[in-house]
């Protein structure tokens, strides 16, 4: 009976575990997949020497199709070796599910992956990382989704890992300066105080390799540096524990005074929107007050009270109530316009 094994190679040429080596030695066929990391001849040589056979290098399309792999695994022991941990990629998980459905035994040999390594390299606490963001070449100029994920993470006080895409086939990818420029553009559109020139961040390059590099500083300065060959990732810290501050200062050789979290500067959505809505609504109310008779004074008074409620709720952190209150104030004034009582210039 055949078997399909997924073997993680870790982050560098010697990152595979002893268990992984044994699994590849026992396999009849070994495929090696590259996707987001530049092709390293040293990895192929090291792997071939360790397992006593040459792996067949395949691309992501071959794995996504999966037909050759699944067909072979019905009667032979087939192993797919991948960088990092194999089940971090949804493609591999989908292939595993297909193998199970066809009655093929599967096995997973785990190894280090950038998700855990980024915390280890930086000195940040791993459990304080929240949702990870992938920045692709297609998204880099319009990082709306990445911006909002980063916003949510920072509001939680959590750290964010941004993975910068690298495409092996084209040899193209997203550079740290390119990703930073995309975040700045998103900040200009949404204005939540998520990122700026002074935002403290880390850039980690080629983690797990002999030429690994790391830099820390403000985004404005980091956007002007050259980081060499990919892969790269960016870490934007949320709230920092004092032990994290000490670790960052030591690891990156910078004064503790330059190390800071970024959560305190971030505006909640309501903090950004409610003051604008209040200003707009108050201006509209003032513009029509003298045009209306005394029979509408009660309505205008209620609109004024709703605006004050919105500001009070916002100050108390009750964002939903603040948004509702300013919505009620706008609605009262809109009712006058819809009824044809007065024209309101918003």
Per-residue pLDDT of 108-127, as tens digits, reads 999 999 999 999 999 999 99
pLDDT of residue 258: 94
58 and 132, same domain (yes or no): no
Question: 88: pLDDT confidence band, cut at 50, 70 and 90?
Answer: confident
Per-residue model confidence as pLDDT tens digits over 277-308: 999 999 999 999 888 989 999 999 999 999 99
d(CA 318, CA 268): 11
**pLDDT of 271 above 80:** yes
Residue at which a domain ends, from 77, 97, 112? 112
> Within a domain: residue 143?
yes
274 and 315, same domain (yes or no): yes
**pLDDT of 152 above 90:** yes
pLDDT of residue 260: 95
Q: Across residues 35-40, what is the average pLDDT?
A: 62
135 and 182, same domain (yes or no): yes
Percent of the chain clearing pLDDT 90 (strictly above): 80
235 and 273, same domain (yes or no): no
Strands 166-167 and 77-82: unpaired
Residue at which a domain ends, from 227, 258, 289? 258
d(CA 73, CA 134): 32
> Within a domain: residue 28?
yes
Residue at which a domain ends, from 234, 258, 282? 258
**pLDDT of 36 above 70:** no
> Could you tell me if 12 and 208 are in contact, meaning their C-beta atoms sit under 8 angstroms apart?
yes
> Within a domain: residue 47?
yes
pLDDT of residue 168: 67
252 and 151, same domain (yes or no): yes
d(CA 37, CA 205): 11
Q: Across residues 12-24, what is the average pLDDT?
A: 91
pLDDT of residue 31: 96
186 and 101, same domain (yes or no): no
25 and 78, same domain (yes or no): yes
Packing angle of the helix pair 144-155, 176-190 (nearest 10 deg): 80
> Within a domain: residue 345?
no
Domain CATH number, residue 333: 1.20.1270.90
> Within a domain: residue 98?
yes
> Within a domain: residue 343?
no
> Within a domain: residue 81?
yes
88 and 103, same domain (yes or no): yes
Residues 6+ apart with CB under 8 A from 38: 166, 168, 171, 229, 230, 231
| DSSP 8-state class, residue 159 | B
In sequence order, the β-bridge partners of residue 205 are 213, 232
Domain CATH number, residue 7: 3.40.1010.10
Question: 37: pLDDT confidence band, cut at 50, 70 and 90?
Answer: low
* Mean pLDDT of the chain, nearest integer: 93
pLDDT of residue 341: 92
104 and 145, same domain (yes or no): no
314 and 201, same domain (yes or no): no
> Could you tell me if 37 and 166 are in contact, meaning their C-beta atoms sit under 8 angstroms apart?
yes
pLDDT of residue 141: 81
248 and 324, same domain (yes or no): no
> Within a domain: residue 346?
no
Domain count, the chain: 3
Q: Across residues 96-115, what is the average pLDDT?
A: 95
DSSP conformation letters of 49-100: HHHTSPPEEE-HHHHHH-HHHHHHHTTSEEEEEESB-GGGSHHHHHHHHHHH
302 and 315, same domain (yes or no): yes
Q: Across residues 179-203, what is the average pLDDT?
A: 96
Q: Which range of residues forms the domain containing residue 97?
A: 3-112
Higher-scoring residue by pLDDT: 118, 14: 118
pLDDT of residue 40: 65
Question: 32: pLDDT confidence band, cut at 50, 70 and 90?
Answer: very high
């Amino acid at each position: 009976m055949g078997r399909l094994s997924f073997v993680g190679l870790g982050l560098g040429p010697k990152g595979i575990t002893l268990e992984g080596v044994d699994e590849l030695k026992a396999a009849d066929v070994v495929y090696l997949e590259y996707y987001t990391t530049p092709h390293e001849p040293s990895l192929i040589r090291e792997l071939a020497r360790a397992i006593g056979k040459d792996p067949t290098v395949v691309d992501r399309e071959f794995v996504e199709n999966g037909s050759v792999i699944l067909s072979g695994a019905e009667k032979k022991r087939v192993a797919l070796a991948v960088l990092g941990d194999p089940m971090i990629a949804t493609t591999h998980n989908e292939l595993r599910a297909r193998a199970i459905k066809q009655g093929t035994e599967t096995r997973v040999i785990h190894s280090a992956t950038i998700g855990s390594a980024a915390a280890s390299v930086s000195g940040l606490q791993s459990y304080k990382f929240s949702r990870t963001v992938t920045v692709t070449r297609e998204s880099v100029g319009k990082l709306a989704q990445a911006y909002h994920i980063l916003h949510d993470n920072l509001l939680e006080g959590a750290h964010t890992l941004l993975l910068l895409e690298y495409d092996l086939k084209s040899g193209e990818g997203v550079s740290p300066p390119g990703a930073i420029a995309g975040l700045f553009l998103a900040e200009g559109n949404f204005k939540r105080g998520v990122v700026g020139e002074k935002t403290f961040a880390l850039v980690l390059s080629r983690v797990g390799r002999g030429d690994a590099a790391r830099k820390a500083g403000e985004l404005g300065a980091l956007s002007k540096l050259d980081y060499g060959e990919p892969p790269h990732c960016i870490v934007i810290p949320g709230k920092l524990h004092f032990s994290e501050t000490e670790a960052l200062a030591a690891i990156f050789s910078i004064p503790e005074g330059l190390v800071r979290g970024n959560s305190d500067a971030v505006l909640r959505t309501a903090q950004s929107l409610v003051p604008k809505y209040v200003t707009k609504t108050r201006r509209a109310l003032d513009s029509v007050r003298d045009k209306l008779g005394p029979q509408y004074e009660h309505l205008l008074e209620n609109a004024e009270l709703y605006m004050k409620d919105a500001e009070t709720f916002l100050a108390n952190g009750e964002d939903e109530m603040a948004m509702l209150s300013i919505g009620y104030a706008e609605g009262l004034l809109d009712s006058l316009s819809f009824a044809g009582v007065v024209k309101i210039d918003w």
